[in-house]
Amino acid sequence: MSSSAPTLVLVHGAWGGGWVWRRVLAPLRDAGFEVHTVTLTGDGERAHLRRPDIDLHTHIADVIGLVEMEELENVVLVGHSYGGMVITGAAVELQQRHPGVLSGLVYVDAMFPRPGDGWGVAHSPEVASARLAAAAENDNSLPAPNAESGFDLTPEDAAWLNRRHVPHPFGMYRQPLDYDAALLEAVPRLFIDCTDPAYPTIEPVR
């Protein structure tokens, strides 16, 4: 990465939005980073745009659009959970369209897909079946889980998430991310593994 502070582009996971990064924005900016957040199509304040045909390429285009419209340079893409799929695809596209713009990738307890992997590759057959059934009953969207279960949050933080979580578009669940791994060989990558508690859903891609 460059000796100057890179520009961070933060990409949320399923059910979220740019709002999920609210508490880290000030510390990151105080540390000298330029920081941008993306809300993926169909999520967060863009939930009104949700439709059954939204897929991984839609979300990759969201990230590319921000980088291009803001004319960002020295970019580090940061993805959480499902956002790891998005930043990997966006990184490949940036390498092809704007060589030299990308400085690194950070995966925050995120999907780290190999070529040909889809979002569902990390899930057990039981989890995959449950998610497919839930999406089929909800116009190809995955209902948000109750944040009070499985994340070891305070009641206040769980309530904060539950008020904002929205169903996540599901068209990308079995959509493979096909890419040439050689395009990312020279890109520094960092994986932040959250272990207390660990999120078992992404265990296969840790």
Burial of 180: CB neighbours in 10 Å, binned 0-12, 13-18, 19+: exposed
Residues in Cβ contact with 141 at an 8 Å cutoff, skipping those fewer than 6 apart: 42, 50, 52, 135, 167, 168, 169, 170
Q: Which helix (H) or strand (E) holds 177?
A: none
User: Is the backbone peptide bond immediately before 125 cis, with ω within 30 degrees of 0?
Assistant: no
CA torsion 79-83-86-91 (nearest 10°) is: 10
Active site residues: 81
